Amino acid sequence: MNYERLQRQLSALLDTRDWLTNAAQTCAFIKQELADLNWVGFYIQRQPYTLILGPFQGLPACNPIPFSRGVCGAAARSRRTQRVADVQAFDDHIACDIASRSELVVPLVVADTLWGVLDIDSPRIGRFSDQDQTGVEALCRVFIKQSTFGHCD
Ligand code: SME
């Protein structure tokens, strides 16, 4: 996958600074462009140490998710991307859509605060490579750089 092209396209797509609009566009764009995904969305820390469901593409999902639980919670706690090749082998995985077999969760840190996470699920075991991780992290940086946070929330 050519993530440099995707970065340029996402950058052009995000033509407001409104984080809500940009989050909606970003998850729709990723779902459209990357193959074999069944769920893409944002969880946002809108209460302390709690991830609240934000804009997403896919089936209705679990909400809320405390920092203490799931792959999303692990990404929020550690502030490190979680790449899980087989979610059924990850003890603490929260199954929202039983079709999900692998998962990539990128923490989104704004002004030294864990703002939220971007969660991507695939029905294919081992869907996400090292290159996918690096590429999606770069797309997240585009989203953060082109958005203004701290209002309309
Ligand atoms: N599987 C996630 C929960 C969110 S859904 O995949 C949309 C987790 O374990 O945190």
pLDDT at residue 151 in the model:
54
Is the pLDDT confidence value at 111 over 60? yes
Which sequence spans correspond to the domains of the chain? 3-145
Is 24's C-beta closer than 6 angstroms to any atom of ligand 1?
A: no
What is the distance between the alpha carbons of residues 149 and 35, in angstroms, rounded to a whole number?
30
153 has a pLDDT exceeding 80: no
Superfamily for domain range 3-145: GAF domain (3.30.450.40)
pLDDT score for 150: 73
* Closest C-alpha among 22, 82, 77 to residue 55: 22
40 lines ligand 1 (CB under 6 A): no
Mean pLDDT of 56-85: 98
Mean per-residue pLDDT, 111-128: 98
Decide if pLDDT at 30 tops 90: yes
Between the CA of 81 and the centroid of ligand 1 the distance, in Å, is 14
**Ligand 1 atom 3, closest CA:** 94
Q: Kindly give the distance from the C-alpha atom of residue 111 to the centroid of ligand 1, in angstroms, as a whole number.
A: 25
CA distance 37 to 31: 6
The residue whose two tokens read 């769920």 is 39
Is ligand 1 within 6 A of the CB of residue 75? no
Name the residue type at position 32: Q
pLDDT at site 1 = 92
Distance 3 CA to ligand 1 centre (A): 24
- Kindly report the pTM of this predicted structure: 0.97
**Does residue 148 register a pLDDT over 70?**
yes
State if residue 56 touches ligand 1 by the CB under 6 angstroms criterion: no
Q: How far is CA 78 from CA 61, 70, 99, 105, in A?
A: 22, 12, 26, 11
Residue 77 pLDDT level (bands cut at 50, 70, 90): very high
Cα–ligand 1 centroid distance for 45 (angstroms): 15
HEC sequence for the chain: CCHHHHHHHHHHHCCCCEHHHHHHHHHHHHHHHCCCCCEEEEEEEEECCEEEEEEEECCCCCCCEECCCHHHHHHHHHCCCEEECCHHHCCCCCCCCCCCCEEEEEEEEECCEEEEEEEEEECCCCCCCHHHHHHHHHHHHHHHHCCECCCCC
CA 97 to ligand 1 center in whole angstroms? 8
Ligand 1: which atom is nearest the Cα of residue 93?
9
